[in-house]
Amino acid sequence: MNKLFSWYKQLSFFKKQLLVATIVTSITLILASILLYGKFIADHKNTLLENLRGKAQLIAETSRSALLFGDHETANNLLGSLRAFPATQYALLLDSEQQTFASYQRSPDMKLPGFESLQERAQVLDSLLHVYQPVRMDNEVIGYVLIVSESNALSDQRLNYLLILFLVFVVSIAVSFFLHWRLQSFIAAPMNKLVELVGYVARNRRYNRRVRAKGSDELGTLITGVNSMLDTIEQHEKQLHAHSERLESLVALRTEQLFNRANYDALTQLPNRHLLVDRLNHGIDNASRENSQMALMFLDLDRFKYINDNLGHSVGDELLVKVAEKISSVVRKADSVCRWGGDEFIVLLEHLHNKEDIIPLAEQIIFTLSEPIELSGNQLHITTSIGIARFPEDGQDSSTLLRHADVAMYRAKEKGLSQYCFFEHDMIDGSMERLTLEHKLRLALENKSFHLVYQPQICTETGRVCGIEALIRWQDEELGLLNPVQFLPVAEDVGLMHSLSLWVLEEACTQNAVWQEQGCERTRVAVNLPASFIMHPSAVEQITQILDRTQLSPRCLEIEITENTFISNTEHAIKVLEQLRQMGINIAVDDFGTGYSSMSYLRDLPVGTLKIDGSFVRQMGVDTINDGIIQSIITLGKSLGLSLIAECVENKEQATQLKSMGCDMIQGYYFSRPLSADDTTAFLLARKSA
């Protein structure tokens, strides 16, 4: 049943319709055939009976006189005439008392039935047709005629009728099937075209074909509707296609942009670290396959942070672009230059033969970048440090090479400005030291493990203490006493400088207030603050808060800044320093004479003191030009109404010469090394009593 149902479901609509029509026709024909058969049989039976009855009637009519006159012979002759009808099996002529008057029987062995068994005038008993007919004479029944005929004719006729009806049925079904097939083919032709159209659309996703609607019937309406729908879809598809093309072009553009964004630095248009790693891996594969060498240069711009902080990010960005152009102009076409991030660049050198091939390029890069760069009216000097790692000597994979080049770059920085350095495996230990230092630095800040030492500043005229510079020190249990030159750059790199500066400022102010409470001579405490602190939006507010907390007079605080503080965003720096000076805080320019900025700021900035860099002081008496510079600085400061202080004064000659040059204050080991807070207290008290 399920198979039949599955088979039916797989048929086409046309075949289903044809099947249903054929089945309905078959059922109708079967019913009609049954009815016709029944009617035929009944009619034939009636015909046979009527025929038999007619014979009986005839016998009855013609046998009356024989009955009345007792003429058996004539009666027998009459019945014998039925011999001409083979179906007639026997016949009886009975008198009025139903006694046999005459008889006829086809076969002598045939048993004649009793007349009593007849219930009707015509009936079928034992497959034999029985008809009996009263013999009447003037309304008087004078006898009876009984004729019995076999029903083989009826059976034969039944078979004939069955055969005829079967043939009619088969022919009718065939004709019906053929007519249905042809008519439905004709009627369903538009439907088939419609189905074909739908299949075409489904297969090809094309909507350009149509079916012509010939009629206005439901099918015509359907075809018109489908055509209209296809018109709409085709129009929408065209619009969609156009829209899709626009989108595709936009996607292609966006993809290209995303690819560029993902692989190139937006500022310098150089490959970024992602693309570099790809190229590096590819280069490693090539070098391994070709058994060649390659090298990785890790460049970090020296002092870029100062420039970026002081001149602004826009200038810093322009500087990075210029640097990128310069590096790209120097390297070979086969080499790759990428911006690793911030002020770090990487140059990938491939197809090298020996280490010596790298050195000229490194020197060329350093030389090119050391040339002044003109930006926004400022002539900037920038240098770079280069760390170099080679494949396969310094690493077998990209991450190792990058890490080792970075380590080598830090080692180059340690060597000074504009240096390059090849990686050596013992540098890994130094790199680990830096990581350790960073970690300990964070812990020290949290635990306040730093301490300050104080170096007095002596007035050359009076010999009195006119100021004390607070200097930070870090005593680590494992690393021992660390010089600020060792850890302050690290603090700057890891972003701890601001917090560290706040701690120093508060500690120094607190200590100065303590000294004053202890009866020491009132003096200023000088604190070095980096440019980043001054440029911080809350710098003035935080300094004010510290002074409030420590109850220290602003006049007892001096802030030392470097010339680099003014390089970037001079206006903001002037604004901050002006606010500080108005509070009473003295501003000193530290390391004066070593910067690159214009001297014109001295005229505009609210500074009160110039601090001559120790490098000049240490060369006093050795180089006349150096002495001239010192004298020029002092003369310049004096002419601007500024006080001057010289640091790193270590002997009497230096002190005497500086005094003779007009320097107002002297700081250095000649008078005192940096002292602890307690020793400074003692020093101050001693100086006071003296």
Q: In which region does residue 167 sit, left (phi positive, over 0), alpha (psi from -120 to 50) or beta (all else)?
A: alpha
Q: In this complex, which beta carbon is closest to another protein, that of residue 137 or of residue 173? A: 137
CB 461 within 8 Å of CB 658: no
If one asks whether residue 58 binds another protein (CB under 8 A), the answer comes out as no
**SS3 state at 647:** coil
Q: In this complex, which beta carbon is closest to another protein, that of residue 63 or of residue 586? A: 63
Q: In which region does residue 117 sit, left (phi positive, over 0), alpha (psi from -120 to 50) or beta (all else)?
A: alpha
CB 54 within 8 Å of CB 84: no
Q: Does the bond joining 190 to the residue before it have cis omega, within 30 degrees of 0?
A: no
Member of 48, 66, 666, 684 binding another protein (CB under 8 A): 66
If one asks whether residue 71 binds another protein (CB under 8 A), the answer comes out as yes
Q: In this complex, which beta carbon is closest to another protein, that of residue 61 or of residue 521? A: 61
If one asks whether residue 6 binds another protein (CB under 8 A), the answer comes out as no
Member of 4, 10, 73, 353 binding another protein (CB under 8 A): 73
In terms of residues, how long is the chain? Answer: 690
If one asks whether residue 103 binds another protein (CB under 8 A), the answer comes out as no
Q: In this complex, which beta carbon is closest to another protein, that of residue 66 or of residue 361? A: 66
If one asks whether residue 74 binds another protein (CB under 8 A), the answer comes out as yes
**SS3 state at 208:** coil
CB of 121 to another protein, least distance (A): 23
If one asks whether residue 70 binds another protein (CB under 8 A), the answer comes out as yes
Member of 5, 10, 84, 97 binding another protein (CB under 8 A): 97
If one asks whether residue 56 binds another protein (CB under 8 A), the answer comes out as no
Q: In this complex, which beta carbon is closest to another protein, that of residue 74 or of residue 598? A: 74
If one asks whether residue 81 binds another protein (CB under 8 A), the answer comes out as no
Q: DSSP string of 408-475?
A: HHHHHHHH-SS-EEE--TTHHHHHHHHHHHHHHHHHHHHHT-EEEEEEEEEETTT--EEEEEEEEEEE
If one asks whether residue 94 binds another protein (CB under 8 A), the answer comes out as no
CB of 63 to another protein, least distance (A): 9
Member of 44, 64, 193, 381 binding another protein (CB under 8 A): 64
Member of 31, 34, 35, 68 binding another protein (CB under 8 A): 68
If one asks whether residue 72 binds another protein (CB under 8 A), the answer comes out as yes
If one asks whether residue 519 binds another protein (CB under 8 A), the answer comes out as no
Span 128-147, contacts to another protein by CB under 8 A: 137-139
If one asks whether residue 287 binds another protein (CB under 8 A), the answer comes out as no
Residue of 152, 23, 20, 28 whose CA lies nearest to 36: 28
CB of 81 to another protein, least distance (A): 13
CB 90 within 8 Å of CB 112: yes
Q: SS3 string of 497-523?
A: HHHHHHHHHHHHHHHHHHHHHCCCCCC
> Which CA distances in Å does 66 have to 91, 102, 104, 135?
15, 10, 15, 11
Span 487-516, contacts to another protein by CB under 8 A: none
Member of 57, 65, 224, 378 binding another protein (CB under 8 A): 65
Span interacting with another protein, options 70-78, 348-356, 597-605, 611-619, rule CB under 8 A: 70-78
> Which CA distances in Å does 286 have to 292, 295, 298, 603, 605?
8, 13, 21, 60, 58
β-pairing, 665-667 vs 373-375, is: unpaired
Task: Count the site residues for another protein by CB under 8 A.
Answer: 19
Residue of 394, 401, 361, 386 whose CA lies nearest to 276: 401
Q: SS3 string of 72-139?
A: HHHHHHHHHHHHHCCCEEEEEEEECCCCEEEEEECCCCCCCCCHHHCCCCEEEECCEEEEEEEEEECC
Considering just the CA atoms, what is the radius of gyration of the chain in Å?
A: 64
Order of strands across the sheet with 383-391? 336-341, 344-352, 293-302, 383-391, 420-422
Q: Which residue has the tokens 């013999």?
A: 135
If one asks whether residue 62 binds another protein (CB under 8 A), the answer comes out as yes
Q: In this complex, which beta carbon is closest to another protein, that of residue 138 or of residue 371? A: 138
Q: Which helix (H) or strand (E) holds 481?
A: strand 480-482
If one asks whether residue 650 binds another protein (CB under 8 A), the answer comes out as no
Residues facing residue 164 across a β-bridge? none
d(CA 404, CA 398) in angstroms, rounded, equals 10
If one asks whether residue 101 binds another protein (CB under 8 A), the answer comes out as yes
If one asks whether residue 356 binds another protein (CB under 8 A), the answer comes out as no
If one asks whether residue 306 binds another protein (CB under 8 A), the answer comes out as no
CB of 69 to another protein, least distance (A): 5
If one asks whether residue 374 binds another protein (CB under 8 A), the answer comes out as no
CB of 65 to another protein, least distance (A): 4
If one asks whether residue 371 binds another protein (CB under 8 A), the answer comes out as no
Q: In this complex, which beta carbon is closest to another protein, that of residue 74 or of residue 176? A: 74
If one asks whether residue 57 binds another protein (CB under 8 A), the answer comes out as no
Q: In this complex, which beta carbon is closest to another protein, that of residue 66 or of residue 91? A: 66
If one asks whether residue 112 binds another protein (CB under 8 A), the answer comes out as no
CB of 116 to another protein, least distance (A): 19
Contact footprint for another protein (CB under 8 A) = 62, 64-66, 68-74, 95-97, 99, 101, 137-139
